[in-house]
Amino acid sequence: MSVLEIRVLGDPVLRQETKPVQVVTDDLRKLVDDMFETMHAAKGIGLAAPQVGRVERVAVIDVEGGTQPLVLINPEIVSASADTAKSEEGCLSIPDVFGDVERPSGVVVRALDREGKPFEVEATELLARCIQHENDHLHGKLFIDHLSVLKRRAALARWSKQKDRYPGFIRRMTAEEVAEHHHAEDL
Ligand code: K1U
Ligand code: ZN
């Protein structure tokens, strides 16, 4: 498995619509495995293919620290609750920028798993939020798009102070971050 480079805000791939997966191949499973590796190294709870420069409609989620990893291939949110919740979000593609986002508190998502088998999950709380955040990525949308004009302006001002750390819109995990992740895996 490999830790991939993460694309950051400004890379046009993050604004692209993804392409539905036609067949779940070994190559796609390798992408899924590398995405988990990358997400864990970056200490995230989710990651979508455009964040690693890919256009396949694929996301991975692990809100429980390894106990309930979720692979979403061609996900569709089939229902969303009328009640909403506001909570802070971050994004591995906009490091060190956070904002409160209001979203439906619960969702039902339908997708294919790593073997290409259809399944449905009913989610609430952080899992529901993460599913919606990753599903947005698969349609070229970012959490900052949900902020008010003023809050988005503040978030972008914060980002503009950081963005020079990522030449070519690429965030590479440091050797320390990768080593720390491997150490955590061995425990
Ligand atoms: O898609 C991504 O950029 C990953 C993102 C997912 C996410 C975070 C918070 C709410 C919804 C979706 C992250 O994992 S950012 C890392 C982070 O800020 C975080 C980590 C653990 C718990 C909560 C947030
Ligand atoms: Zn994100």
62 lines ligand 1 (CB under 6 A): no
Average pLDDT score over residue span 160-174? 94
Looking at every residue in the chain, the average pLDDT score rounds to 95
Report pLDDT for 66. Answer: 67
Residue among 37, 56, 89, 134 flagged as catalytic: 134
Report pLDDT for 68. Answer: 82
Share of the chain above pLDDT 90, in %: 89
Whether the per-residue pLDDT at 120 is higher than 90: the answer is yes
Identify the three-state secondary structure at position 48: strand
As given in the structure block, the two tokens for residue 29 are 């499973």
146 lines ligand 1 (CB under 6 A): no
Which DSSP helix (H) or strand (E) runs through 71? Answer: strand 70-80
Question: Is residue 140 within 8 Å of 15, Cβ to Cβ?
Answer: yes
Measured between alpha carbons, how far is 155 from 94 in angstroms, rounded to an integer? Answer: 9
Average pLDDT score over residue span 133-160? 97
Which pLDDT tens digit goes with each residue over 67-87? 789 999 999 999 999 999 999
Residue, of 81 and 183, whose pLDDT is higher: 81
Which residue among 18, 96, 127, 133 has the greatest number of ligand 1 atoms within 8 angstroms of its CB, and so is best to mutate?
Answer: 133
